[in-house]
Structure formats: C-alpha cells, structure tokens
Structure 1
Amino acid sequence: MAHFTVIGLGRFGIAASMELIYLGHTVTGVDRDAKVAEKNVEDFTQLLICDSTDENALKELDLANSDAVLVAIGEDMESSLLCTLALKKLGVKEIWVKANSRAHHTIVSKLGVSRIIHPEEEMGVRVAQALNYPMVNDYLSIGHGLYVVEIHIKQPLDGCHLGELLGPSKGKVDAVMVKREQETFLQLDQDFEIKASDILLLSGTRDALKCLAPRLS
C-alpha cells in the first residue's frame, strides 16, 4: 500500500483519487475550495484545504511521506505551474502533472517532473482505437515500440488454435496469457485451443498487431 497526495479536486482529481483508494492505497486530497473539501471529505483518507500555490502552506502538508504527488489542477495554468514549482523547491521527487494545453506541457517539461498527463488527449486516442479495433478491449504501451493488447474472443473464433489465429503474425506477435473464467493459462503453444469469451493478451509492435487485427474481428 502506498500513500499519494492529489492536489486539485475537480472531476479528474476526484476520479484518480477514488481509483487509488479502490486499489488499496491511502490518499490525501488537497483543494483551496472549502465547499469542494466538505463535499468529498468522507471519501478521502485525509482532505485538506490549502492554497497549493503557497510554498509555505504546502510545507505544512509533510509531502515527503507521499509516494507521489499528482497536480490535478484544472484550467488555471498559472496555479498549476506555481504549485509544481513549489513542490520542486520542497524536494518532492515524484511529481505527476495534468497539462491542459501544449503551452502548459512545454513549460512543465522544463521543470523536470516525473510525468505529464493529457487526460482528454489520451482518452481520445483510446476511444479512437476502440472504434477502429472493437475487438480490442484495452491496450498498454510497454516501451520500445511494443504494446500489450487485451482481446475478447468472439464466437466465430471458438475452437480456433492459437497458431491458426496468429497466422502470418507468428514470431511477430506473442501470446502472453489466456484467461478463461476463473482459470489462467500462461504456457501457450501453437495447438492451444481458443474458446469464445476467452480473454487473450497479445504483445507485439503496433504494425504487427495492426496486421493481425482483421483476423480477430
């Protein structure tokens, strides 16, 4: 279990906080609006009213005990930047920042934060991918041009062997795991029989997975 601090409790900050708590972590929420704090006080491990642009005020929060601090301040770029600068001055090592524009991203990138997040753009890409490849339930970039995708096997592929399913993509796309109800299969050879409703994890480059996509529809 880790402890996180989320600064800025708009829709994005609240959603991130609630998911972290659901995953078993503790979260300190920070917002300068007392009404926001009162509305969400029951949901957080700890909730504080604080002007996050004030370095002295942030110093009182003991942020060194947080595994990471997420700056989720909404449209106020100036407040986001001042908060980020204050966190850097206080020696917070793991800082994630929500950026609302390219200008915001450019400035934050000069501050040496751990990660910059563009939630609207990232969700837009995911929606486009889902529309283009409806058989792909989710995907994850693992670096160096490689991706892991989650495929829900439909009825037309029931009984198909893994080698047949991969076809020309064998060697370019690897089967990582199959989940079938409560069972998990990790040792997958070419003769492994796929069943309808299986969840199949595949890994490969974007181009290789794209070439395989028509066989999975």
Structure 2
Amino acid sequence: MAHFTVIGLGRFGIAASLELIHLGHTVTGVDLDPKIAEKYADNLTQMVICDASDEGALRELDLNSSNVVLVAIGEDMEASLLSTLALKNVGVKNIWVKASSKAHHTIVSKLGVSRIIHPEEEMGIRVAQALNYPMVNNYLSLGHGLHVVEIPIKEKLNGSTIGQVLKDLRGSVDAILVKRGPTKFTKLGHDFALLTNDVLLLCGTRAELQYLAPRLI
C-alpha cells in the first residue's frame, strides 16, 4: 500500500483519487474549494482545504511521506504551474502533473517533474486503438514501439494452441499471460490450449499485432 497526495479535485483528480483508494492505497486530497472538500471528505483518507501555491501551507502537509504528489489542476495553467513550483521549492521529489496543452507541457517540463500526463490525448489514443482493433479489450504502450493488448478468446478459437494462434509470429509476438476466470497462467508453451472466454495478453510491435488481428476477430 502506498500513499498519494492529489492536488486539484476536478473530474480527473477525483477519478484518480477514488481509483487509488479502490486499489487499496491511501490518498490525501487537496483543494481550495470548501464545497469540494466537504463533498469528498468521506471518500478519501484525508481531505485538506489549501492553496497549493502557498509554500508555507504545503510545508505543513508532510508531502514527502507521499509516494507521489499528483498535480491535477489541468484547466488553470497558472495555478498548476504555481503549485508545481511550490512543490519543487518545498523539496517534493516525485511530482506528476496533468498538462492541458503543449504550452503547459513545455513549461512544466522545464521544472523537472517526474511525469507529465495528457489524459485527453492518452484516452484518445486508447479509443483509436479500440476502434482499430475491435477484438482488443485493453491496450497499453510500453514505449520503444512495444504494446501489450488484452484479447478475449472467441468461440472460433476454442481449443487452439498458442502456437497455432501466433503461427509465423512466434518469437516476434509474445504470449504473456492467460486469464481463465480467477485463475492466471504465465508459463505458456506453444502447446497451451486456449478456451472460449479466456483472456490472452500479447506483447509485440504495432505492425505485428495488426498483422495478427484478423485471426482473432
């Protein structure tokens, strides 16, 4: 279990906070609006009404006990930048920032934060991948041209082996894991037989996965 601080509880910030709570972590929510603080006080581990651009106020929050501080103030670029700068000045090491534009990204990148997030852009890419690969449930880019996709096994592939599904792509596309109900299989030989409703995780380049796609529809 880790502890996170989320600054700015708009739609993005509260969604991230509640999901972290759901995953078993603890979350301190920080927002300037008392109405928002009151609304989510019972949902988060701790709720603080605070101007996150005020270094003095931030020093009272013991932010270095957080694994990550997420600045989720994407809509108000000035407030986001001032909060990020204040976090750097009080010595917070691991800062993630939501950026709402290229200009926002450019300025934040000069502050030396750990990660810059573009939620709308990243979601747009995920939607495009879902449209391009309708058989894919989830899609994750690993960088360096590699992607992981989650594929539900349809009835036509029932009984097919990993080797039969991958065929000429063996060694290029890797079968990482098969989920079968509550059970997971990670040691997947070429003779591992797939069953209807299994979920298969594959890793490969976009071109290789696209080449494979017609077999999985």
Q: Please classify the TM superposition score into its range, dividing by the shorter chain length.
A: over 0.9
Whole-angstrom distance in 1 between the partners of 2:6 and 2:159: 47
Q: Which amino acid aligns with 2:179?
A: K
Rounded to whole Å, the distance in 1 between the matches of 2:37 and 2:181 is 41
Q: Which residue of 2 aligns with 1:33?
A: 33
Q: Secondary structure at the match of 2:215?
A: helix
Deviations 1:145-173 (A, max 9, x none): 22221111111111212211112211110
1:60-85: CA deviation from partner (whole Å, max 9, x where unpaired) = 11111111100001311000000000
Between 1:58-67 and 1:9-18, the stretch displaced more is: 58-67
Shift of 1:102: 0.6
- Name the structure 2 match of 1:215: 215
Shift of 1:54: 1.2
Q: 1:195 maps to which residue? A: 195
TM-superposed deviation, 1:89: 0.7
Distance in 2 separating the partners of 1:19 and 1:141 = 21
Distance in 1 of aligned mates of 2:82 and 2:124: 28
1:175-204 deviation per Cα after TM superposition (whole angstroms, max 9, x unaligned):
111111232222222222111100111111
CA contact (8 A) 2:67 2:94 kept: yes
State the alpha-carbon separation in 2 of the partners of residues 29 and 183 from structure 1: 35
Count how many residue pairs are aligned between Structure 1 and Structure 2: 217
> Given the two structures, how large is their TM-score scaled by the length of structure 1?
0.96
Secondary structure of the structure 2 residue equivalent to 1:24 = coil
Q: Give the match's secondary structure for 1:124.
A: helix
Q: Scaled by the length of structure 2, what TM-score is found?
A: 0.96
State the AA in 2 paired with 1:156. Answer: K
Pairs within 5 Å for 1:7-46: 7-46=7-46
Give structure 1 regions of 4+ aligned residues with deviation exceeding 4 angstroms. Answer: none
- 3-state SS of 2:137 partner: strand
| Contiguous gaps of at least 5 residues in structure 1 | none
When structure 1 is superposed on structure 2, of 46-55 and 204-213 the one drifting more is: 204-213
Range 143-152 or range 98-107, more displaced: 143-152
2:129·2:139 contact (CA, 8 Å) conserved in 1? no
- Higher alpha-carbon deviation: 157-166 or 4-13: 157-166
Offset of 1:95 from its aligned partner? 0.1
Partner of 1:171: 171
